[in-house]
Amino acid sequence: MYPDRVQTLIQGEVLARFGAALSDPTRARVLLALRDSPGYPAELADEIGVSRQSLSNHLACLRGCGLVVAVPQGRRVRYELADARLRHALTDLLGVVLAVEADHEPVPPSSL
């Protein structure tokens, strides 16, 4: 399932890549869709409500972060979470209650 060039990352690097993936709402929605089941780009684009080109860019980012893998199936490519534990992690994150001050705006990732 994994290409020969896959490398194992450690704690901080894993969290940084996960954070980069989740920093964009569209990528977060892609991950949540793939949490439910593997998907094909055209169907994912329709489900999420983005163009196929936009989805392709987001899938490339998620692959680069190591969170999803592309599985060739004949002439099509199916995308799925790279590790089954990501399903559990995403579900756990959805249950987190954030302590956000009412007058505090989130800091954009570009200004960190």
d(CA 61, CA 35): 17
27 close to 21: Cβ distance less than 8 angstroms: yes
CATH hierarchy code of domain 11-111: 1.10.10.10
What's the pLDDT tens digit per position in 47-72?
Answer: 999 999 999 999 999 999 889 999 99
What's the pLDDT tens digit per position in 29-43?
Answer: 999 999 999 999 999
Q: Where do the domains of the chain lie? A: 11-111
